[in-house]
A and B are shown apart, each in its own frame.
Chain A
Amino acid sequence: MKDKAHVVIVGGGVIGTGVAYNLAKMGMTDVVLVEQKRHSYGSTGRCGGGIRQQWSTEENIRLAKASVEQFERMNEELGVDIGYIQGGYLIPAFTEDEVRDYRKNMALQNSLGVPTRWLSNEEIKELVPMLNTEKMMGATFCPTDGHANPFAVTEGYARRAKEMGVEINLFTTVTGIDVVDGEVKRVHTDRGDIETEFVVNAAGPYSPLIGRMAGIEMPNKPYRHEILATERFRHFLDTMIISFHHGLYFSQTTRGEIVGGIGNPDEKPGYNLSSSLDFAVRMARALIEFMPQFKNVNMVRQWAGFYDVTPDAKPILGEVDEVRGFIQANGYSGHGFMLAPIVAQLMAELIVDGKTSMPIESMNMRRFKDMDMVQEANVVG
């Protein structure tokens, strides 16, 4: 392992490997990535893989739209099959309030160039004939939303970054960070120390622990979210279906499995990754309500991951005021995978050029000190 590098990236998920890839692409290859376990272990590999531009705040819409443009050409760029299905996201409304809010969000999304449109229940049936629309009051649908395989994207980023000269150390644990005169100096790991000028905190739900090593208190907290997969069957569903009303999302992967989850409003923050029967029961009930035919489908596997949740459900991006060289790239609040391509690019720009091609000031951690926040409402589960 190198003992000196311009940049040390903490975290081998889609964000960390994405930053490594983008740095290398910009010519910065004096980079070491450290990951406590294996690629995608922490959050990326546990997520539902959804890619959505239907948000309620301008920042998230802009970031998601820029990411979609990258997902669309990723197979070619990374030389992997990322299992991308651009079949849209369908978000049904179940109350008058939801109809009003979703129409308002749609107008904002349209004004930023996202082609979301309103569907009547009849149009929903045309799009997804098996869906039970009985209690629905229409839906928004954005045809350029979709989903992809998070493992494949991360592996693609990691492989290309390595080919271009980035050093990747798996099964390596960060044990400390030296800050001298308000500046990042050194990262300690269980396999040696690395002298550095930049630390990228891409540790997802574990990022507050990394922050603390540099004396930085962070406001994000890990919340368990459970998810399941069914047996595989013939492809019939292109569209990702989510309901803020139920806290539910599901889609069919290119492998043919239905993968989906449902939130638990009583979940407390903490590092709990256990699977519960309660989740399986609630998820089965919701899936069957949405598509009665699901009652004959076998569930084969359930697991859990974390939403890395900030007080306004928007990510924490950019350099920390108090510690020069300490770059935050975390706090995605359940939508890190879909924002990864553009965030990774912006973080690389920040390190190489000292500025970014899209504004990220409003996502700096200092907003929590001033309590100068605009809440993102469209978080599922």
Chain B
Amino acid sequence: MSDEDVIICRCEDVTRADVLKAIRDGYTDLESLRHHLNIGRGPCQGKTCIPLVTRILRQETCASMDEIGLPTARPPMRPIPLGVLNVKEGDE
């Protein structure tokens, strides 16, 4: 298997080649890449892919972390069943 075929985002089956192509197409900050490739929106919410994509972006563009920009972390930390959140009024 070549480097290009390495899976970067397991939730969305995005490979290193997909990431490199997106960067070449002008998606050179993390948030734009995230929306373009749909990475970071599966069950892991980017905990696997975002550090990897950040490294590829820095290698490819020599950009600073300021220019790359970290995506906003969204709650919850881990997926949580809606039933767990469904507390009755007055029980909160």
Binding site for B on A (CB under 8 A): 38-41, 45, 151, 155, 229-232, 255, 275, 277, 280-281, 283-285, 287-288, 294-303
Contacts and interface: CB of A to CB of B under 8 A. Distances in A.
Contacts of B51: none
A229 B41 CA distance: 9
A104 B57 CA distance: 55
B10 to A, nearest CB: 14
Interface in B67-84: 72, 74-76, 79-84
A297 B35 contact: no
A285 B42 contact: no
5 contacts: A280-B75, A281-B92, A284-B82, A299-B81, A303-B72
A298 B83 CA distance: 9
Nearest to A289: B86
A146 to B, nearest CB: 21
B45 to A, nearest CB: 6
B15 interface: no
Contact of B82 (A232, A255, A299): A299
Given A281-B87, A287-B82, A302 B35 contact: no
Nearest to B72: A303
B29 A299 contact: no
Interface string B19-38: 00000000001011001101
Contacts of A288: 82-83, 86
B91 to A, nearest CB: 10
Contacts of A275: 74-75
A299 B80 contact: yes
A55 to B, nearest CB: 29
The 10 closest A-B pairs by CB, nearest first: A295-B83, A284-B85, A298-B79, A284-B82, A301-B74, A284-B86, A300-B79, A151-B35, A288-B86, A294-B82
A45 B38 CA distance: 13
B86 A300 contact: no
Nearest to B38: A255
B18 to A, nearest CB: 16
Contacts of A40: 35
Given A281-B85, A281-B86, A295-B86, 8 more contacts: A255-B41, A275-B74, A284-B86, A299-B76, A299-B81, A301-B74, A303-B72, A303-B74
Nearest to B35: A151
Interface residues of B, number: 24
A297 B86 contact: no
Nearest to A281: B85
B20 to A, nearest CB: 19
A33 to B, nearest CB: 15
A284 B79 CA distance: 13
A302 B75 contact: yes
A44 B12 CA distance: 23
A231 B11 CA distance: 11
A295 B82 contact: yes
A229 B79 CA distance: 10
A38 B29 contact: yes
A280 B85 contact: yes
A277 B29 CA distance: 29
A303 B35 CA distance: 15
Contacts of B45: 300-301
A280 B83 CA distance: 11
A232 B81 CA distance: 13
A245 to B, nearest CB: 17
Nearest to A151: B35
A232 B42 contact: yes
A285 B79 contact: no
Contacts of B38: 255
Given A151-B35, A255-B38, A284-B86, A302 B81 contact: no
A303 B73 CA distance: 9
A284 B89 CA distance: 12
Interface string B44-76: 010000000000000000000000000010111
A295 B83 CA distance: 4
Given A38-B31, A281-B92, A302 B74 contact: yes
B83 A296 contact: yes
